[in-house]
Structure 1
Amino acid sequence: MRLTNFTDFGLRALILLADRNGETLSATEIAEHFRVSRHHMAKVLQELTAAGYLVAVRGAQGGVRLARDPRDIRIGDVVRRLDDQPLVECFSAEGSDCALLPRCRLKGMLGRAHMGFLRELDRFTLADCLEKPTSLPALDLAE
Structure 2
Amino acid sequence: MRLTDYTDYSLRVLLYLAVRGDGLSTIQDISQAYGISKNHLMKVVQQLAEHGWIETVRGRNGGLRFAERSRALTVGEVVRAMESDFALVACLPDQHGAHRSCVIMPACRLREALDAAGKAFLAELDRYTIGEVAQPHGALSSLLGLGGAVIPIVPVAPTPSA
- TM-score, normalised with respect to structure 1: 0.81
* Percent sequence identity over aligned pairs: 37
Give the aligned partner of residue 12 of structure 2: 12
Task: Name the aligned partner's letter for residue 7 of structure 1.
Answer: T
Give the aligned partner of residue 2 of structure 1: 2
Give the aligned partner of residue 139 of structure 1: none
Task: Name the aligned partner's letter for residue 13 of structure 1.
Answer: V
Match of 1:104 among 96, 108, 111: 108
Give the aligned partner of residue 116 of structure 1: 120
Q: 1:1-143 counterparts in 2 under 5 A? A: 1-86=1-86, 87-91=88-92, 92=94, 93=96, 94-132=98-136
> Which entry has the higher C-alpha Rg, 1 or 2?
2
Task: Name the aligned partner's letter for residue 115 of structure 1.
Answer: K
What SS does the corresponding residue of 1:90 show, helix, strand or coil?
coil
Residue by residue, what CA displacement relative to the aligned partner does 1:30-70 show, whole Å, maximum 9, x if unpaired?
12211111111111111111111111111112222112345
Asked if structure 1 preserves the Cα contact closer than 8 Å seen for 2:53 and 2:70, the reply is no
Residue by residue, what CA displacement relative to the aligned partner does 1:74-126 show, whole Å, maximum 9, x if unpaired?
11111111112233323334421434323323222111111111111111111
What SS does the corresponding residue of 2:3 show, helix, strand or coil?
coil
- Alignment RMSD: 1.8
Larger CA deviation: 60-69 vs 31-40: 60-69
Q: d(CA) in 2 for partners of 1:78 and 1:98?
A: 31
Q: For structure 2, which runs of at least 5 residues remain unmatched after alignment? A: 137-162
Residue by residue, what CA displacement relative to the aligned partner does 1:12-36 show, whole Å, maximum 9, x if unpaired?
1100100001122122221221111
Task: Name the aligned partner's letter for residue 39 of structure 1.
Answer: N
Task: Name the aligned partner's letter for residue 5 of structure 2.
Answer: N
Task: Name the aligned partner's letter for residue 88 of structure 1.
Answer: V
Paired residue total: 132
What SS does the corresponding residue of 1:98 show, helix, strand or coil?
coil
Q: For structure 1, which runs of at least 5 residues remain unmatched after alignment? A: 133-143
What SS does the corresponding residue of 1:30 show, helix, strand or coil?
helix
